[in-house]
Chain A
């Protein structure tokens, strides 16, 4: 399937999802749906680096929060339309990803992972100390109630996130089937051999880090409008870091389908668990599922299904 056909199909599916959700006509579905879609974007973004090249990013929350705080910063200057804010948020996170990658990706993979882990702590320190964007008190963003053509603002946000999902999935699938994707795969399988065969590994890794970081920042940019009141602890929440790793790992890391399945399953499960049990318990479930899956089913749900099909044939 050509990328263009895939994109058209995705857009068709997105339109169906949007009107189906509208038909349900319940604000809660939009609120919950937004969060699930946000996780689809985050886990797809994580997978571009983690799944395709094998480099683990523990700082998803940092990239996400950067996008969100870029919005807060700009909102204080002048209220811009959300699509523009998404571009800015993506650019900021992409540049930070590039810089981090440049400093650490020339070394062993573990250093990059550790640096991303520390990045979240440092950026949070920075934001907490920066009064302009609210500091530790947090920042209020008053969102309009309605927007032209679409109606309630939450539906608009939902639509924006749906568009981001379409972009993220198209990018991920496009990478998989391009020279870039094969280059990434050589890095994941044997970086030394790839380097020796003339694959420009550092450049490819930097492309992956930048793309992945930018998509995370884009997912974060509309977040202040969604939540209305942005605190450092909510923007840098550990649930983003753990979910964006757990979802691809549980879904399967080798193709774009894995993060999508993982995010929809885990995301919906968490929406239900948060309402019915408690948010701490649902994070515990995610953590335990992550540990269980990496030990028992290293290729995730996609791997399990593939194995099952192979066996029944």
Chain B
């Protein structure tokens, strides 16, 4: 009995740590899809891009992957702002975002993946850092640092974003974009500019998420696909546009996946997100903390 209790509590811990990491992966989509209404299905591709940048700098110069990702934030921000500009000019302004805008992001996802395959091949790549390997033990509880560090980093990222969105002018304007663009314009802010900034921020989070991903697991270009279902499941489960909801959704999915992996085998874990997504859409489309 004690053994199964150990297993249970460690499955919960592993799930929470995993959920923390999922938070980092989903925050960007929470902003783009939840707040800006831009269905950026290419987000996982940007995350993988972040992983590969962390990998290159880490293996060449030996810099910590998380530090690399923070240094890369401005680059990803500009990349995101650029992508939004193209998206706005080509689709949003013409009112074609549903069919062609989606296809555009799908094309981006695909092109990024194939380019990474052409450059790096399909071998798994990994990084080195002092916290990959050891783990803390508290009684029967096991905290692998490889998971704990990304979890803490992700929650820090969440706190920073939530504070930014709640207490700065631009942050509040980003929230306002989702609610009433006309009112925002009357307050003297350009919705397009605000959305560009917000989308830039959403892509910037992919830099951090990518570094965390390659800390947690070895990465190859098509790994990103597994995260599409997860990211949107979490986003919908938490409630669109709610960052705290994203954290809760991520933790729930993390725990569910961890239980599935522990009791049924890890090969079934990818199916969990899809089940969660479909059930949420069928029974509570607004999500847990939906507006």
Residues of A with Cβ closer than 8 Å to B?
Answer: 50, 54, 56, 58, 103-104, 107, 109-111, 113-115, 117-119, 121-122, 125-126, 128-129, 188, 238, 242, 245-246, 249, 253, 280-281, 283-284, 286-288, 290-291, 294-295, 298
Contact = CB atoms under 8 A, between A and B. Distances in A.
A56 B107 contact: no
A284 B107 contact: no
A200 to B, nearest CB: 20
B225 A121 contact: yes
Interface string B81-93: 0000010001100
B25 interface: no
A283 B281 contact: no
Contacts of A109: 98
B100 interface: yes
Contacts of B278: 103-104, 115
Interface of B: 33, 39, 41, 86, 90-91, 94, 96, 98-100, 102-104, 106-108, 110-111, 113-115, 117-118, 222, 225-226, 228-229, 232-233, 236, 267-268, 270-271, 273-275, 277-278, 281-282, 285
Contacts of B271: 122, 125-126
A122 B103 CA distance: 21
Contacts of A110: 33, 39, 98, 102
Given A118-B229, A121-B228, 14 more contacts: A104-B281, A107-B281, A107-B285, A113-B41, A121-B226, A121-B229, A122-B271, A122-B275, A188-B99, A242-B106, A283-B110, A287-B107, A290-B106, A295-B86
27 contacts: A54-B99, A109-B98, A110-B102, A111-B236, A111-B281, A114-B232, A118-B274, A121-B229, A121-B274, A122-B274, A125-B267, A125-B270, A125-B271, A129-B268, A280-B114, A280-B117, A284-B111, A284-B115, A286-B110, A287-B111, A290-B106, A290-B107, A291-B108, A291-B111, A294-B91, A294-B104, A295-B90
Contacts of B91: 294
A126 B233 CA distance: 18
A253 B281 CA distance: 28
B114 A284 contact: yes
B233 A118 contact: yes
Contact of A56 (B99, B232, B277): B99
The 7 closest A-B pairs by CB, nearest first: A118-B229, A291-B107, A287-B111, A122-B274, A290-B107, A287-B110, A110-B39
Contacts of B94: 298
- Residue picked from A104, A128, A246, A287, most chain B C-beta under 10 Å: A287
Contacts of A58: 41, 106
Contacts of A281: 118
Nearest to A128: B267
A81 to B, nearest CB: 34
B277 A115 contact: yes
A121 B225 CA distance: 8
A172 to B, nearest CB: 17
A43 to B, nearest CB: 13
A31 to B, nearest CB: 24
A249 B113 CA distance: 20
B274 A294 contact: no
Given A242-B110, A294-B90, A56 B103 contact: yes
Nearest to B110: A287
Contacts of A245: 103, 106
